[in-house]
């Protein structure tokens, strides 16, 4: 079995694998990552191969401390510094100009690099022990549901991985929020674990991509996070929506008894709890092998923006 409790010994072995150009799956507070030495092109290419990810979709580089971060980027504008001080370690990724340490394959040829410091002790210990910035996308096959447990990783990528560090279920459950900083301000490239409302308290109004056309998040495919079943989003699920060919994903406890093939993201309608449960619930519903998953809309405020983004992409067929 390649799933390991994150003991000092396991972390030291994982760090050896990373240093010698191999891959390790590890927990973060958002989702599990598939990590490699961000500065080693031969190691990074293995991430793309293992996930079957297109080479034009750049990776996020994870650092354990500011000195390491400074080796990865060539400039930290004051607005970015302020965000780092407020939200790191945590689920916020910032796109900055890259340094020469980071090869082009990591950034898909861009001269910027997406960086974050994860708020997870195992992730930080692994990066520290490796002594290297670690490039890591979510540890799932490209386009499929992101993993929030070691078991999810093993189910999708198990046989191709030497080591999966098991840190238990992820505490945030959706990927990091990605922003870029330019003289025009702060642009939201992907909604995620830090609500935009919290970011704009520091940066002023957060721009949406398109309002500044230079900035793009290359990997933001319309179809992503997809279960095998067809996923349909409805404003409200009613008792008429149940049927033997379908599974239901409720946001909160419904007014009628939920049918057997259903999941409730948060009984009380708490968006944080819903985000934590989102991917695990989708994995479970997908394993029921129904043709259709009907998912209920959640409010588009706070973490709801990230949840709706994932549901919309999961509803688009590749
Ligand atoms: O929470 C997370 O961010 C997780 C954990 C493992 O840290 N990682 C993650 O990585 O979600 P991934 O590969 O699913 O998302 C990377 C996305 C790319 O698809 C792209 O949209 C954006 O980050 N990105 C990366 N580098 C970029 C760059 N230089 N400019 C703009 N967007 C970039
Ligand atoms: Mg991903």
Q: How far is CA 311 from the centre of its chain?
A: 14
Show Cβ contacts of residue 142 under 8 Å, excluding neighbours closer than 6 positions. Answer: 51, 52, 53, 54, 57
Dist. CA 30 → ligand 1 center (Å) = 12
Ligand nearest to the CA of 143: 2
Show Cβ contacts of residue 236 under 8 Å, excluding neighbours closer than 6 positions. Answer: 296, 297
Dist. CA 236 → ligand 1 center (Å) = 31
Residue with tokens 């259709």: 292
Q: Judge contact between 310 and 223, C-beta under 8 A.
A: no
Dist. CA 174 → ligand 2 center (Å) = 10
- Give the chain's end-to-end CA distance (angstroms, integer): 32
C-alpha span between 267 and 163 (Å, rounded):
35
Name the percent of the chain lying above pLDDT 90.
Answer: 89
Is the CA virtual torsion 184, 89, 171, 283 positive or negative? Answer: positive
Closest atom of ligand 1 to 193 CA is 1
Segment 181-239, tens digit of pLDDT: 988 889 999 999 999 999 999 899 999 876 445 556 776 777 788 899 999 999 999 99
- Judged by average pLDDT, the poorest of 2-6, 81-85, 239-243 is 239-243
Query: Which residue's CA is the closest to the ligand 1 atom numbered 13?
Result: 137
Query: Which residue's CA is the closest to the ligand 1 atom numbered 12?
Result: 137
Dist. CA 44 → ligand 2 center (Å) = 15
Q: Quick one: pLDDT at residue 214?
A: 52
Q: Quick one: pLDDT at residue 182?
A: 87
Closest atom of ligand 1 to 220 CA is 21
Ligand nearest to the CA of 140: 2
Closest atom of ligand 1 to 30 CA is 1
Ligand nearest to the CA of 279: 2
Segment 119-131, tens digit of pLDDT: 999 999 999 999 9
- 38 closest CA partner among 121, 122, 154, 116: 116
- 74 closest CA partner among 98, 107, 94, 93: 98
Ligand nearest to the CA of 174: 1
Tell me which of 210 and 302 has the higher pLDDT: 302
Mean pLDDT in residue range 258-285: 96
C-alpha span between 96 and 175 (Å, rounded):
18
Burial grade of 85 (CB within 10 A; 0-12, 13-18, 19 or more): exposed
Question: 26 forms bridges with which residues in the sheet?
Answer: 33
Segment 95-114, tens digit of pLDDT: 999 999 999 999 999 999 99
Query: Which residue's CA is the closest to the ligand 1 atom numbered 33?
Result: 217
Cis peptide bond prior to 149, omega within 30° of 0:
no
C-alpha span between 188 and 73 (Å, rounded):
19
Q: Judge contact between 263 and 246, C-beta under 8 A.
A: no
Number of neighbours of residue 100 by Cβ within 10 angstroms: 8
- Judged by average pLDDT, the poorest of 60-64, 79-83, 181-185 is 181-185
Is the CA virtual torsion 237, 238, 239, 240 positive or negative? Answer: negative
Measured from CB, residues less than 6 Å from any atom of ligand 1 are 28, 30-31, 33, 57-60, 91, 93, 95, 107, 110, 112-114, 118, 136-138, 175-176, 178, 189-190, 217-220
> Given a cut of 50, is residue 69 above it in pLDDT?
yes
Residue 247 is inside which H or E element, if any? strand 246-250
Residue 92 is inside which H or E element, if any? strand 92-97
Residue 81 is inside which H or E element, if any? helix 78-87
Categorize the per-residue pLDDT at 317 as very low, low, confident or very high, splitting at 50, 70 and 90.
Answer: confident
Q: Which residue among 118, 127, 217 has the greatest number of ligand 1 atoms within 8 angstroms of its CB, and so is best to mutate?
A: 217
Residue with tokens 């935009």: 196
Segment 42-56, tens digit of pLDDT: 999 999 999 999 999
């Amino acid at each position: 079995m390649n799933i390991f409790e994150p003991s000092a010994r396991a972390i030291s072995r994982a760090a050896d694998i990373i240093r010698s150009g191999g891959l390790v799956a590890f927990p973060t507070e958002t989702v599990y990552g598939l990590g490699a030495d961000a500065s080693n092109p031969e190691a990074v290419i293995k991430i793309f191969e293992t996930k079957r990810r297109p080479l034009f979709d750049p990776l996020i580089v994870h650092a354990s401390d500011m000195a390491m971060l400074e080796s990865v980027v060539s400039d930290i504008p004051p607005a970015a510094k302020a965000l780092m001080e407020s939200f790191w370690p945590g689920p916020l990724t910032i796109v900055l100009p890259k340094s020469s340490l980071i090869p082009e394959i990591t950034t898909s040829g861009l001269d910027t690099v997406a960086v974050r410091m994860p708020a997870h002790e195992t992730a930080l210990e692994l990066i520290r022990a490796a002594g290297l910035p670690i490039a890591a996308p979510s540890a799932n096959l490209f386009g499929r549901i992101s993993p929030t447990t070691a078991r999810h990783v093993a189910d999708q990528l198990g046989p191709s991985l030497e080591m999966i560090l098991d840190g238990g279920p992820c505490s945030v459950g959706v990927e990091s929020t990605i922003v870029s900083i330019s003289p025009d301000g702060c642009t939201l490239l992907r909604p995620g674990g830090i609500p935009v409302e919290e970011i704009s308290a520091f940066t002023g109004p957060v721009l949406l991509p398109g309002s500044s056309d230079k900035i793009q998040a290359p990997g933001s495919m319309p179809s992503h996070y997809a279960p095998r079943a067809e996923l349909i989003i409805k404003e409200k699920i009613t008792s008429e929506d149940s049927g033997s060919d379908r599974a239901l994903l409720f946001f909160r406890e419904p007014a009628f008894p939920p049918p057997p093939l259903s999941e409730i993201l948060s009984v009380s309608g708490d968006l944080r709890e819903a985000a934590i449960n989102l991917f695990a619930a989708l994995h479970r519903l997908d394993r029921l092998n129904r043709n259709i998953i009907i998912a209920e809309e959640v409010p588009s405020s706070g973490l709801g923006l990230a949840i709706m983004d994932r549901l919309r992409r999961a509803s688009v067929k590749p």
